[in-house]
Amino acid sequence: MRDLVVVTGEQVRGLLAGREQEVVDAVLGAYRAHARGQSSLPHSAFVRCPAPRASRIIALPGFLGDGFDVAGVKWIASFPGNLEQGIARASAVLLLNSPRTGHVEAILEASLISAARTAASAAAAASLLLAGDRPERVGLIGTGLINLEIARYLRVCLPETSSFLLYDLDPERAAGAARSLRRAAPEMEVALAESAQQVLDRCPLVSFATTAVRPHVEDLACCPRGAVLLHISLRDLAPEAILACDNVVDDPDHVCRAQTSLHLAEQLSGSRDFIRCTLAEISEGTAPARAGDGPVVFSPFGLGVLDLAVGKLVHELALARGSHLTIPSFLPLADP
């Protein structure tokens, strides 16, 4: 086939609407396949641009087997300064290649896929690490697209949730996020916190999704007993705080690099012994959900195989529903 399938952002949004559980299942399947060695996952490549601090473009290549049988690469830009201009922080595309021929088969808008797989990973981790507990109040530190998507997935996976407590360095952004949550879930109580500390004090489940470039939370002693912290942005917790917690990751090799909090903790302690297990091990029942009653921190690097798993789902739905564009004869003719 020489044609190329293109799926736009609005088409991705429509295809994923109401399919939160399918996305969670795809993400957990990708984690398990990766843990079984049924993947190829090179380290991500970071491109720094001469732009404001923290701006970067990342390439996440990979192959995922074990029934998924998809290869490709996500190319995602994160420019936090965009928010001041009223445009999205992140933009991305996902290229899907045939693992049989290597030919590019599809280009998908991927900022929404990335947000969905991140939220599904966080919700799956929360469900597993809570080990049957069902917190009524959830804290969100950082109120951009990612935490709003995480809130949506948590409402599906933890239906007992009845309230959210939000904090952001930008009060207007926090207030806007609160309005969005109230529109999406009028039955929920949504309140604004005065500080990140207040969120940690009051919430047994907290999601960090910020643009922090260096740790800003030094101590987690204030957390409720058995608190679960979804450390999605990876650079919020001081290495000393990490070393004092029960730590679960998606992949130790990937998460302990690029000056993440866990990378700093490894440098400080001289080893990775502070990492107890991966989420896949808990999902497979080969590791317990928690060790002790202190805070448990889930720190996911955000593996490219998750994008491939969700991208494959989107691609298949797009073809089945005809919800895509086609560029005919995109690939050149074969050599004579």
Give me the residue spans of the domains in the chain.
4-113+304-327, 131-299
CATH 3.30.1780.10 fits 4-113+304-327, yes or no: yes
pLDDT tens per residue across span 184-199: 999 999 999 999 999 9
Q: How confident is the model at residue 85 (pLDDT cuts 50, 70, 90)?
A: confident
Dist CA 146 CA 99 (whole Å): 30
Dist CA 252 CA 290 (whole Å): 17
CB 154 within 8 A of CB 127: no
Residue 324 is classified by DSSP as: S
Residue with tokens 């942005």: 233
- Residue 256 confidence (pLDDT): 98
- Residue 55 confidence (pLDDT): 86
Paired tokens of 78: 């994160």
What length does the chain have?
Answer: 336
Paired tokens of 180: 């969005």
Report the topology of domain 131-299.
Rossmann fold (3.40.50)
- Residue 314 confidence (pLDDT): 98
The angle subtended at Cα 45 by Cα 99 and Cα 7, nearest 5°, is: 50
pLDDT tens per residue across span 89-121: 889 999 999 999 999 999 999 999 999 999 999
Least Cα distance to 134 among 114, 111, 158, 162 occurs for 158
Dist CA 320 CA 206 (whole Å): 38
Paired tokens of 299: 């720190």
